[in-house]
Structure 1
Amino acid sequence: MAAFWSEPDWDEHERVEVVHDRASGLTAIIALHSTHLGPAAGGTRFWHYADPANAMRDALRLSRGMSYKNAMANLPMGGGKAVVLLDKDGRKTESMLHAFGDAVEAMDGRYVTAEDVGATETDMVAIHSRTQHVCGLPADAGDAGGDPGPFTAMGIYHGIKAAVARKLGKDSMQGVRVAIQGCGSVGGGVTKLLAKDGARLTLSDIDEKRAAQMADELGGKAVSPEQAMGTPCDVFSPNALGAILDDAGIAQLDCAIVAGGANNQLARPEHGQMLHDRGILYAPDYVINAGGIINVSYEYLCRREGTPCDINEVRKRIAQIPGRLNEIWAESEKSSRPANEVADAMAQALIGR
């Protein structure tokens, strides 16, 4: 694995630690980008990386994104991320989870973890048995916490409606064409919310059967993953893995808006300029997809302070996402700078960079 400071995504991270526990087979990377606003909060991604260098790139990019996301969500949390490198079979054992919990505990409260791709509430419970610095734990009805996916979906739904109002001048999703890439916990949640509003949906997923079943259930249509980005639509909503908005991907787009929950959608920052030059309204991913971290951070803070975790407070905070997006878009129009550049500058100012 190359030295992380030679990576293009190295951004003066405060701490990057490679963890290996021979007894359990755990290999993980924990990256703390900033603790300027509070403990570095961000989920743990469990994934098989054919090239371990990609795991380091993920940890660096995702942790920086969490610094920006938490700052823009007005949370008293810094930004961090962890990746656990799985074998080809995706093997994940309780001993690995315990060893990872020990690694989080060794950070002395500087890192707070939660679910990400490949992680479940059950995993968080196992990690929690070794450290208090974890959130996304099972929650009672009416309380914050639990699976962050539905809350991420809620924020994206609000953000898509804000983008449609701004770009298309419509105050309803009725008849608005939305192509959704990824129908898992987040994308599937967004799909169901938009279906209730009468949006015309085109769905794709790496699991084509899942996309077809959801399309049948909600009255949409399914296309192959290869067709998703070129689908004529009003809104393209990426909700799978990131870095899809590169030269080739942007050239395929036939939409007015890009607004979805995938992290690190832009392959490189300059791809935001390409969207801007094409007149495509872009919702910076770490702003629109903040609903999940709002939920679990609130859960963690309430548990730490011994105060009630009312879910209505979470919903109120998620409902503020459109306001932040509109602030970014307004400055983008005023300054003729792409939305991602405007958002990055705002976030950097908040974390003292």
Structure 2
Amino acid sequence: MFALMQSSRVQSLHMMVEPRTGLKAVIAIHSSQKGPAMGGCRYLSYPNEESAIEDAIQLARNMSYKAVLAGLSLGGGTAVIMRPAHVPDRAALFEAFGRFVQTLDGRYVTAMDSGTSREDMDCIAQYTQHVTSTTAVGDPSAHTALGLYAGIRTTAMARLGSDNLEGLRVAIQGLGHVGYALAEQLHAAGAELLVADLDSGKVQLAMEQLGAKPIASEALLSTPCDILAPCGLGGVLNSHSVTKLRCAAVAGGANNQLSCAAIADQLEARGILYAPDYVINSGGLIYVALHHQGQSPGTITAHLSQIGTRLTEVFAHAQAEKRSPARVADELAERLLDMD
């Protein structure tokens, strides 16, 4: 585990177990050079403790990269709660997690992520002020989707020569809060939507409201499209799935889309432009971070508009150096983190 921490440059790893509530939680802090570490709290089932810790470590690093490339005075961190088979009292579990966050004295600020809700954040907020995306703050998903939409236009310009999305075939994998909000914006822009989700109700809603074409989850990656937008859980792009892709670009909201760094080179070799996930999906972090700092809506909107600018910069460097945008973004983030 220390080797994984060193390779990912994670500063510290914190764990808590509370048998009474069923809480088994991990908080990974990657960096606190530029400010407190901020990142989501995941509440998912994991096959074992090792996989939960690895997820926390990898996500914490990406949060640092996301924050520094978004120009935020924050470090990166992530919390992972292993979802038990039976939860006697969900509110009590998240209240216990709030007490855990409080023990870190502000070094980590938690927020919504996969499997958690605003109501969960409200429970956490009863025991610590180091939490955001509560009911009072609002769901950051809409702001993540706004940034994604801007990033998809930037990606279309870089790969297809135009940011006009009318008639563009976009395949969205995952219709959660972010994926569905993105689908609504793309539909309004005239894009043709191909959608997949394990929840058939969400797919049906997208068909009825947005004219989307349903695709089986296992077939979506091999379906011809202009842009693939992974908006579910991470690791969807691996050595096997990349060989099946029939898209010009990948630009989506999921974290940790690449199963390993080498996948970026496979995409590059196939001529598929990859929008680094932590660059294009930073809208939610920008919103909750600046709202937590008391910034005005105008300031937040202006900051969100910079996502496309940063992505254009990454694409330009990648093209000039004939390298993957993922490699370029990683090195740029590491240089910025090392400047202090």
SS of the residue 2:133 aligns to: coil
**What amino acid is aligned across from residue 91 of structure 2 in structure 1?**
E
In the alignment, is the contact (CA less than 8 A) between 1:208 and 1:224 conserved in 2? Answer: no
**Pairwise mapping of residues 253-292 of structure 1 onto structure 2 (< 5 A)?**
253-292=245-284
Give the whole-Å Cα distance in 2 for the aligned partners of 1:200 and 1:89.
Answer: 41
Residue 327 of structure 1, aligned match among 297, 306, 313: 313
Structure 2 Cα separation of the partners of residues 227 and 213 of structure 1: 20
Percent of pairs with identical residues: 39
Correspondences of 1:41-190 after superposition (within 5 Å): 41-89=38-86, 93-139=90-136, 145-190=137-182
Distance 1:29 1:9 in 2: 17
The answer (yes or no) to whether the contact 1:86–1:92 under 8 Å persists in 2 is no
Q: How many Å separate the matches in 2 of 1:9 and 1:136? A: 30
Alpha-carbon contact 1:177-1:201 (below 8 Å) kept: yes
RMSD over aligned Cα atoms: 1.4
In 2, the alpha carbon distance for the partners of 1:90 and 1:229 equals 35
Quote the offset at 1:90 in angstroms.
6.2
- Shift of residue 118 of structure 1? 1.0
| Contact 1:97–1:123 (Cα < 8 Å) also in 2 | yes
The whole-number CA distance in structure 2 between the counterparts of 1:217 and 1:193 is: 12
C-alpha deviation, 1:343, in angstroms: 0.1
Q: TM-score, normalised to structure 2's length?
A: 0.96
- Contact 1:14–1:34 (8 Å) recurs in 2: yes
What residue ranges of structure 2 are gaps of 5+ in the alignment? none
Paired residue secondary structure (2:288): helix
SS at match of 2:112: coil
Please tell me whether residue 349 in structure 1 is matched to residue 339 in structure 2.
no
Rounded Cα–Cα distance in structure 1 between residues aligned with 2:8 and 2:165:
39
Alignment partners' CA distance in 2, 1:111 and 1:176 = 40
Shift of 1:89: 4.6
TM-score (norm 1): 0.93
Match of 2:15 among 5, 15, 18: 18
| CA–CA separation in structure 1 for the residues paired with 2:274 and 2:203 | 24
| Matched residue, 1:5 | 2
Shift of 1:321: 0.4
The aligned residue for residue 304 of structure 2 is: 318
SS in 2 for 1:17: strand
Q: Which amino acid letter does the alignment assign opposite residue 342 of structure 1?
A: V
Question: Counterpart of 2:214?
Answer: 222
CA deviations over 1:258-312 (Å, ceiling 9, x no partner)? 000000000000100111111111100000000000000011112xxxxxx4223
Residues 58-95 of structure 1: CA distance to partner in whole angstroms, max 9, x if unpaired? 10110000000000000000000000111135666222
Q: Tell me how far 1:9 sits from its aligned partner.
A: 8.1
SS state at 1:232 partner: coil
Q: Deviations over 1:33-70 (max 9, x none)?
A: 10011100001001111222211111011000000000
Paired residue total: 339
Inter-CA distance 237–24: structure 2 relative to 1 (3 Å threshold): same
Cα deviation, residue 314, structure 1 = 1.5
Worse overlay, 89-98 or 101-110: 89-98
Give the counterpart letter for 1:38 in structure 2: G
Provide the rounded CA distance (Å) in 1 between the counterparts of 2:178 and 2:245.
22
> C-alpha distance in 1, partners of 2:88/2:178?
23
In structure 2, distance between residues paired with 1:87 and 1:137: 23
Once residues 231 and 269 of structure 1 are traced to their aligned partners in structure 2, the CA distance between those partners, rounded to angstroms, is 24
Q: More deviation in 86-95 or 246-255?
A: 86-95
Q: Does the CA-based 8 Å contact 1:68-1:347 persist in structure 2?
A: yes
